[in-house]
């Protein structure tokens, strides 16, 4: 972790002052406005891939990201070859993602909750880094990378357990993949591998309980977010007096709808994101900046409730 642990002993205010000094002057002015808007109010937080880039997990929609088309649910279900390709890449991707640590941004969000400022946290990330950083009231809107679901019996399994099953079915695969070169990592633990022969050699695991089809427990493109997660998320926004969006371009409706919902209720919508978002027209204040520094400053400076 590169966060608070690596800082020399300092009071929260001193740390915040250091962070503020690293922010651009123009950014600090907007942060002061955000501070004024959120002070004394409980708010909901919605986070996306931009929060995890400082943990080494690339944002495939962020500025400079290579265009990438994730596999849809229909493609995954429709073709055994697609599932083989998917699981081979996921096997490589998971071994990378499981080593990621939460960063200052995750620590700051956990601190906002500990200080009583949040009605809840909605994250579009599947990496579980918010929970690792100590956040408790979290909706993993798009699921969890560390779980696998059987599409036939609906049982859940740990991804860690599946990793050892896949290792046994595919001895030496990760070493050969490393030699072939993993060219890109995506935030959903999907790695791009150019070597088709390597992919075709991959043996996919079946459900240990019913021999059914296993799928990572996250929401694919073309698949709906489970209703209970959506309802919990709306409840967090309903209970809040403002919504803070951090590190999400709000490209997909699954996240954008909460910004629309808050705006419709006349609640303040604050967006902190590097680059434009699909919700910019809904924002009461928009800060175009990296999220870790801004969130660290807010977590230290906002008065506890
Ligand atoms: Zn099963």
Which one of 154, 189, 218 terminates a domain? 218
Q: Is 256 found in the same domain as 111?
A: yes
| Distance of CA 165 from the midpoint of ligand 1 (Å) | 15
DSSP label of 252: S
Q: Is 234 found in the same domain as 290?
A: yes
| Distance of CA 206 from the midpoint of ligand 1 (Å) | 8
Going by pLDDT thresholds of 50, 70 and 90, the confidence category of residue 246 is: very high
For the whole model, what pTM was predicted? Answer: 0.85
Position 224 pLDDT exceeds 60: yes
For residue 6, is it within any domain?
A: no
Which one of 182, 202, 218 terminates a domain? 218
Residues in the chain: 305
Query: Do 123 and 113 contact (CB within 8 A), yes or no?
Result: no
Q: Is 170 found in the same domain as 29?
A: no
For residue 173, is it within any domain?
A: yes
Which of 227, 58, 73 minimizes the C-alpha distance to 141? 227
For residue 205, is it within any domain?
A: yes
Which one of 193, 218, 243 terminates a domain? 218
For residue 172, is it within any domain?
A: yes
Which of 279, 274, 249, 250 minimizes the C-alpha distance to 264? 279
Q: What is the pLDDT of residue 99?
A: 78
Q: Which of 47-51, 68-72, 126-130, 298-302 has the lowest mean pLDDT?
A: 68-72
Q: Is 95 found in the same domain as 84?
A: yes
Strands (E), 28-127: 43-47, 118-123
Q: What is the pLDDT of residue 28?
A: 85
For residue 2, is it within any domain?
A: no
Residue 207 domain boundaries: 73-99+145-218
CB count in 10 Å sphere of residue 180? 15
Residues of the chain with pLDDT > 90, as a percent, come to: 66
For residue 66, is it within any domain?
A: no
Q: Is 198 found in the same domain as 85?
A: yes
For residue 5, is it within any domain?
A: no
68 or 103: which carries more pLDDT confidence? 103
| Distance of CA 160 from the midpoint of ligand 1 (Å) | 17
Which of 250, 217, 231 minimizes the C-alpha distance to 127? 217
Position 27 pLDDT exceeds 50: yes
Mean residue pLDDT across the chain = 87
The pLDDT tens digits for 160-207 are: 999 999 999 999 998 888 887 765 566 566 666 667 788 889 999 999
For residue 77, is it within any domain?
A: yes
Q: Is 172 found in the same domain as 137?
A: no
45-63 average pLDDT score: 83
Give the C-alpha separation, 295 to 293, whole Å. Answer: 6
Q: What is the pLDDT of residue 222?
A: 86
Position 67 pLDDT exceeds 70: no
| Distance of CA 2 from the midpoint of ligand 1 (Å) | 39
Strands (E), the chain: 43-47, 118-123, 138-140, 143-150, 156-158, 182-185, 191-193, 214-218, 242-246, 268-272, 285-287
Position 62 pLDDT exceeds 60: no
DSSP label of 51: G
Q: What is the pLDDT of residue 26?
A: 74
Element containing residue 233 per DSSP (H, E): helix 227-239
Q: Which residues are catalytic?
A: 142
Most confident range (mean pLDDT) of 58-62, 188-192, 199-203, 244-248 is 244-248
Q: What is the pLDDT of residue 4?
A: 32
| Distance of CA 191 from the midpoint of ligand 1 (Å) | 25
Q: Is 267 found in the same domain as 231?
A: yes
* Number of domains forming the structure of the chain: 2
Position 98 pLDDT exceeds 80: no
Query: Do 162 and 205 contact (CB within 8 A), yes or no?
Result: yes
């Amino acid at each position: 972790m590169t966060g608070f642990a690596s800082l020399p002993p300092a009071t929260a205010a001193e740390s915040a002052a250091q962070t503020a000094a690293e922010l651009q002057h123009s950014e600090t002015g907007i942060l002061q406005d955000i501070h004024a808007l959120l002070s004394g109010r409980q708010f909901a937080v919605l986070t996306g891939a931009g929060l995890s880039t400082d943990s080494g997990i690339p944002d495939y929609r962020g500025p400079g990201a290579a265009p990438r088309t994730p596999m849809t649910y229909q493609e995954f279900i429709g073709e055994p070859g697609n599932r083989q390709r998917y699981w081979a890449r996921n096997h490589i991707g998971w071994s990378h993602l499981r080593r990621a640590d939460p960063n200052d941004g995750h620590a700051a969000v956990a601190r906002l909750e500990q200080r009583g400022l949040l009605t809840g946290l909605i994250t579009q990330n599947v990496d579980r880094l918010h929970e690792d950083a100590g956040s408790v009231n979290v909706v993993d809107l798009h699921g969890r990378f560390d779980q696998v679901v059987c599409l036939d019996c609906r049982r859940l399994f740990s991804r860690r357990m599946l990793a050892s099953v896949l290792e046994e079915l595919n001895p030496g695969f990760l070493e050969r993949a490393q030699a072939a070169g993993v060219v890109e990592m995506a935030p959903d633990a999907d790695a791009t591998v150019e070597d088709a022969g390597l992919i075709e050699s991959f043996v996919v695991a079946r459900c240990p309980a019913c021999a059914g089809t296993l799928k990572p427990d996250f929401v694919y493109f073309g698949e709906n977010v489970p209703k209970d997660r959506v309802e919990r998320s709306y409840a967090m926004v309903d209970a809040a007096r403002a919504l803070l969006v951090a590190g999400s371009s709000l490209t997909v409706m699954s996240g954008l709808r909460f910004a629309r919902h808050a705006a419709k209720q006349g609640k303040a919508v604050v967006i902190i994101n590097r680059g434009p978002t699909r919700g910019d027209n809904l924002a009461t204040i928009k800060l175009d900046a990296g999220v870790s520094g801004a969130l660290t400053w807010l977590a230290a400076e906002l008065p506890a409730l």
